[in-house]
Amino acid sequence: MSDCRYAYYCNRARQKAHWKNHKHSCQVAVAARTIPKNPSDADVANISDNMNKWIVIYRHALDTALEHGLQLWIYPSRALKSILDITVDYVPRDASGKRRPMSDRFVITAFYEISNVPDEVWQTPGYLGVKTRQDEVIAEGGVGCPVYQIRCGIHGRAEGYWVNSPRSFGRVWIENWPAFTA
C-alpha cells in the first residue's frame, strides 16, 4: 500500500518480496489513521439501531457514568436540574483494520453536565415521560430521575435512570469510564 508508513524498505522489490508478511500490519496501520465516517455518510436508520443496541449493552456503565458524572450521591438535587450530555463518534465496521472486523461501535469523545435546566424543558414531548416518572419516584421518597442524552452527529437519544433510594452510603469515582463503553 502506498500510504502504509508502517515499514520502510530500501527498494520496491524488497517491499514486494515481504508483502505477504507485511500485509496485515500495513492494513492495521492504515486503518488506525483513518478518520471514522461521519454519521451523515451512512444510513441513519442503521446508525440509530446500532446506537440503541449500544445503549442497551452498556446501560449499567452509562448509568454509573450518570451517577458519578453528576455526583448524585453528593448533590442529589442535580437529579432534578441537570442533564449529562454524552457525545460519541460512530466507528463503522470497515474502519477496524482487523482480520475479523468488529461490529459497528460508538466511542465516547466528550461528556459534560448541562446544569440548571429550566422546568419548561421537562414539559417538551421528548422529556414528558421522564418528568412523570420523576414525580412518581419523588412521591415514593426517591431522589428523582437524572437524565443523560447521547448524541452522535445528527442522531441523538435521551435516557433516564431511576434513583429510588434517597442517599447512598458509598461513592466510587470512575475516572476511566469511557474505556468501559468503547
Whether residue 174 contacts residue 64, with contact meaning beta carbons closer than 8 Å, is answered with yes
User: Are both 139 and 83 inside the same structural domain?
Assistant: yes
| Residue tagged 466511542 (cell numbers) | 107
pLDDT at 114: 82
User: Are both 19 and 63 inside the same structural domain?
Assistant: no
pLDDT at 22: 64
pLDDT at 78: 83
Low-confidence ranges of the chain (pLDDT < 50): 1, 32-41, 161-182
pLDDT at 33: 45
User: Are both 17 and 80 inside the same structural domain?
Assistant: no
User: Are both 115 and 58 inside the same structural domain?
Assistant: yes
Whether residue 164 contacts residue 140, with contact meaning beta carbons closer than 8 Å, is answered with yes
User: Are both 29 and 41 inside the same structural domain?
Assistant: no
pLDDT at 97: 61
For the chain, the domain total comes to 2
User: Are both 51 and 99 inside the same structural domain?
Assistant: yes
For 11, counting Cβ atoms within 10 Å of its Cβ (0-12 exposed, 13-18 middle, 19+ buried), the class is: exposed
pLDDT at 103: 64
User: Are both 68 and 107 inside the same structural domain?
Assistant: yes
pLDDT at 177: 42
The CA distance from 123 to 132, in Å, is 10
pLDDT at 76: 80
User: Are both 97 and 111 inside the same structural domain?
Assistant: yes
Residues 6+ apart with CB under 8 A from 139: none
User: Are both 144 and 94 inside the same structural domain?
Assistant: yes
pLDDT at 26: 61
Domain that includes residue 174, residue range: 37-181
Report which of 39, 74, 58, 46 is spatially closest to residue 148, judged by C-alpha positions. 58
pLDDT at 43: 62
User: Are both 14 and 54 inside the same structural domain?
Assistant: no
User: Are both 95 and 155 inside the same structural domain?
Assistant: yes
User: Are both 66 and 114 inside the same structural domain?
Assistant: yes
